[in-house]
Amino acid sequence: MSLFEGFGERVEVSESFGETTADVDPGDWIEVLTRLRDSGYAFFDWLTGVDDPPDGFFVVANVYDPLACRRLLIRTRVPRADPRLPSAVGVYRGANWHERETYEMFGVIFDGHPNLVPLLLPDGFEGYPLRKDFVLAARVAKQWPGAKEPGESGHGAPSRRKTLPPGVPADWGTPDA
């Protein structure tokens, strides 16, 4: 029996660089994870989000079968307008903090999570810092100069004086020539 028998085209399996990836429908997320756990993929390694503008986010989990020494990447896509996915904590308890971090950094809501509260950022922090549209405070406070050499943009020290490399005779020309 195949791991994904009965899912039809809702699960797409691909292989790249020796790693197997299964893209699943968000509605099948928990059922696929449960089947994998029951088929030997007993070790939950990690889960995270990937911002994929403009439409949504990928939620990616990596599970491992310690007896067969195989790992599998499970991936699903949630829409940006309503980034929700059922919590995997009931299947893999190790998903708890990973889902909390993904919620905090990307804004993906894991329905049914036992304690979906911020994990890393200070109280009162607004926004989702790993989203590509998140504005970095450092860019607002000090504009990026955008120059290749210091001094070219009018910010910072003037450009260094151009000199010949050591051991090059002076009559061979200047670096500006």
| Model confidence, pTM | 0.76
Reported as a pLDDT band with limits 50, 70 and 90, residue 1 is very low
Residue 99 has pLDDT above 80, yes or no: yes
Q: What is the pLDDT of residues 34-89, one digit of tens each?
A: 999 999 999 999 999 999 999 999 999 999 999 999 999 999 999 999 999 999 99
Residue 174 has pLDDT above 60, yes or no: no
Distance CA 69, CA 89 (A): 23
What pLDDT score was predicted for residue 67? 97
CA dist list (Å): 102 to 14, 60, 84, 89, 122: 24, 10, 11, 13, 15
Mean pLDDT of the 146-174 span: 60
Q: Is 71 helix (H, G, I), strand (E, B) or coil?
A: strand
Kindly list the domain boundaries of the chain, sorted by start residue: 8-123
Q: Which fold has domain 8-123?
A: Beta Polymerase; domain 2 (3.30.460)
